[in-house]
Amino acid sequence: MALLVQKFGGTSVGTPERIEAIAAKIKRYRDNGDDVVVVVSAMSGETDRLIGLARAISEAPPPREMDVLLSTGEQVTIALLSMALQKRGCPARSYTGSQVHILTDSAHCKARIQDIDGSRIQQDLQQGKVVVVAGFQGVDEQGNITTLGRGGSDTTAVALAAALKARECQIFTDVDGVYTTDPRVVPNARRLERITFEEMLEMASLGSKVLQIRSVEFAGKYNVPLRVLSSFAEGPGTLITYEDETMENALISGIAFNRDEAKITVLGVPDQPGVAHKLLGPVAAANIEVDMIVQNMAPDGATTDFTFTVHRNDYDRAIEVVRRTAGEMGAREVAGDDKIVKLSLVGVGMRSHAGIASTMFETLANEGINIRMISTSEIKISVVVDEKYLELGVRALHDAFKLEGPAAG
């Protein structure tokens, strides 16, 4: 008998029929003797409907009122799920974020959780009830309704699991776990039994959209074991924890990729201290996030070449900002390319193994794929290549590092 926190997203609760199916699933866990706290999102489509109503009235709705509006989405779901559970003879009780004191700061539409008072939930659990909590929402110290921003329900679930010292925080999604890479690109990609928080963070931030980054960070920080599993099928999913003895001793856990990148290169910048700051300061000031950064001495030895990547949507704005700064700095040229992608090998195992990088570069070279940028961290090697090589590169690397699972049958 253990305490589980289970989170179901908008697609999983998108219709009354799906809510009934989820209720049946929760009841099976309950019948197994586990205590269950459920966190749910708004029914799929509902948040967009509400945003549409707001936009019909105001182009820039005040964030406080936006939160009052959007928080109704989850409130509808908790009521319906609680009804479906009780219909099955499973005692249940719904709570809004405010009712269980999910205390946040006052940053409306992107609030951060500061504290949760679990006492009311503990009481209900002791009485054998399933507790159904609205995800994505909280309340600030003045009693104003806040929301955590889109996808915030994952964070709610992890925060509750931490506050209640749950054995696991289970995130139910439309995939049955975390894979070595996107199965749409590599059909024999393999579901991972386990993965570490650090690896998951790298995978998530590189575009594997299974989990919200913030919830993985949060889970890591409070050491809450996370499990990703399917809302619609049975199966153990993928467990995300800290590295331990029993873990598969794989060098590489997976291959992530990101199609949303664009790169900007400043050529022939006079080399002097503070180049990076001078170039990137105005970019940051324009609220553009920078991903990879690489700086190299130019062949002439007196200037430097500086390259960085941004989200493809920010490319036009970013290159305009950089052109201005580069001109002032006396740089020779600014070049850009928004037809690139980033491929990354991720794995805690690579820390203690040499040769990973050279295998990666050799594999890509054998396929005739030119590497435009390289960047490395403790558990990750990322390369930027032309967009057209995405599938070829991922498949070649997946093969080279023997990540494939049993042939699909």
Instruction: Return the residues of window 128-147 that contact its own copies according to CB under 8 A.
Output: 143-145
Q: What mask of x and - would describe binding to its own copies in positions 34 to 73, judged by CB under 8 A?
A: ----------------x--xx-xxx--xx-xxx-xx-xx-
Residues whose CB falls within 8 Å of the CB of residue 326, separated by 6 or more in sequence, listed in order: 266, 269, 279, 334
Note whether 80 binds its own copies by CB under 8 A: yes
Q: What mask of x and - would describe binding to its own copies in positions 232 to 261, judged by CB under 8 A?
A: ------------------------------
Pick from 28, 87, 221, 324 the residue near its own copies by CB under 8 A: 87
Note whether 182 binds its own copies by CB under 8 A: no
Tell me the C-alpha distance between 354 and 275, whole Å. Answer: 32
Planar angle of CA 308, 314, 317, nearest 5 degrees: 95
CB of 58 to its own copies, least distance (A): 5
CB of 279 to its own copies, least distance (A): 40
Instruction: Return the residues of window 3-22 that contact its own copies according to CB under 8 A.
Output: 16, 19-20
Note whether 298 binds its own copies by CB under 8 A: no
Planar angle of CA 385, 368, 190, nearest 5 degrees: 70
CB of 149 to its own copies, least distance (A): 17
Strand 333-337 relative to strand 290-297: parallel, antiparallel, unpaired? unpaired
Nearest C-alpha neighbor of 344 from the set 395, 372, 384, 315:
384
Note whether 354 binds its own copies by CB under 8 A: no
Give 145 or 321: the residue with its C-beta nearer to its own copies.
145
Note whether 156 binds its own copies by CB under 8 A: no
Note whether 217 binds its own copies by CB under 8 A: no
Give 65 or 217: the residue with its C-beta nearer to its own copies.
65
Pick from 86, 122, 295, 359 the residue near its own copies by CB under 8 A: 86
DSSP state of 252: -
Stretch that binds its own copies, among 4-12, 78-86, 201-209, 398-406 (CB under 8 A): 78-86
Instruction: Return the residues of window 99-128 that contact its own copies according to CB under 8 A.
Output: 99
DSSP letters for 197-246:
HHHHHHHHHTT-TTS-HHHHHHHHHTT--EEEEESSS-S--EEEE---TT
- Binding site, annotated residues: 7-10, 47, 74, 173-174, 179, 184, 209-210
Residues whose CB falls within 8 Å of the CB of residue 46, separated by 6 or more in sequence, listed in order: 10, 73, 76
CB of 387 to its own copies, least distance (A): 41
Tell me the C-alpha distance between 125 and 128, whole Å. Answer: 5
Note whether 230 binds its own copies by CB under 8 A: no
CB of 80 to its own copies, least distance (A): 6
Strand 194-196 relative to strand 238-241: parallel, antiparallel, unpaired? parallel
Residue 138 DSSP SS3: strand
Q: Token digits for 130?
A: 């399933």
Contact 199/208 with Cβ under 8 angstroms? no
Note whether 78 binds its own copies by CB under 8 A: yes
Stretch that binds its own copies, among 4-12, 89-97, 175-183, 202-210 (CB under 8 A): 89-97
Contact 135/7 with Cβ under 8 angstroms? yes
Give 156 or 181: the residue with its C-beta nearer to its own copies.
156
Tell me the C-alpha distance between 291 and 309, whole Å. Answer: 5
CA atoms within 13 Å, Cβ hemisphere of 347: 24
- Binding site, annotated residues for substrate: 47, 74
Chain residues in the site for its own copies (CB under 8 A):
16, 19-20, 50, 53-54, 56-58, 61-62, 64-66, 68-69, 71-72, 75-76, 78-80, 82-84, 86-87, 93-94, 96, 98-99, 143-145
